[in-house]
Structure 1
Amino acid sequence: LAIPQPEVQVSVGIGRNEAGGFALAADIQAVFQDVDQATADDLIAQAHQVCPYSNATRGNIEVNLTAKLA
Structure 2
Amino acid sequence: MKTVYQTRVNATGGRDGQVASDDGVLTLDVRVPQTMGGPAGAFTNPEQLFAAGYAACFDSALNLVARQQKLKINSTVSATVSLQMTDPTNYNLAVSLAVRIEGIDQITAQALLDKAHATCPYSKAIRNNVEVNLTLIDELLDHAHNQ
Q: TM-score range by the shorter chain?
A: 0.7 to 0.9
Deviant stretches of 4+, over 6 Å: none
2:96 corresponds to 1:27: yes
- Larger Rg belongs to: 2
State the 1:22 CA deviation. 2.4
The question of whether the paired residues in 2 share the 8 Å contact of 1:12 and 1:25 is answered with: yes
Instruction: Give the superposition deviation at 1:6.
Output: 0.9
TM-score by length of 1: 0.82
CA distance in 2, matches of 1:41, 1:25: 21
Give me the whole-angstrom Cα distance separating, in 1, the residues matched to 2:125 and 2:96: 15
Give the equivalent residue in structure 2 for 1:67. Answer: 136
State the partner residue of 1:53.
122
Contact preservation (8 Å) 2:81, 2:95: yes
Structure 1 letter corresponding to 2:135: T
Give the Cα separation in 1 of the matches to 2:97 and 2:72.
19
Q: Which has the higher helix share?
A: 2
Which of the pair has the greater relative contact order for Cα pairs under 8 Å at 6+ separation? 1
Q: Deviations over 1:35-55 (max 9, x none)?
A: 111111111110000101101
Aligned to 2:111: 42
Greater strand share, structure number: 1
- The alignment yields a C-alpha RMSD, in angstroms, of 1.6
Identity of aligned residues (%): 34
State the number of aligned residues.
68
CA deviations 1:14-68 (Å, max 9, x no partner) are 1244xx4321100011101121111111111100001011011001100000112
Query: In the aligned structure 2, how far is the partner of 1:6 from the partner of 1:49?
Result: 17
Mapped to 1, the partners of 2:125 and 2:97 lie a distance apart of: 15
1:40 touches 1:69 (CA, 8 Å); kept in 2?
A: no
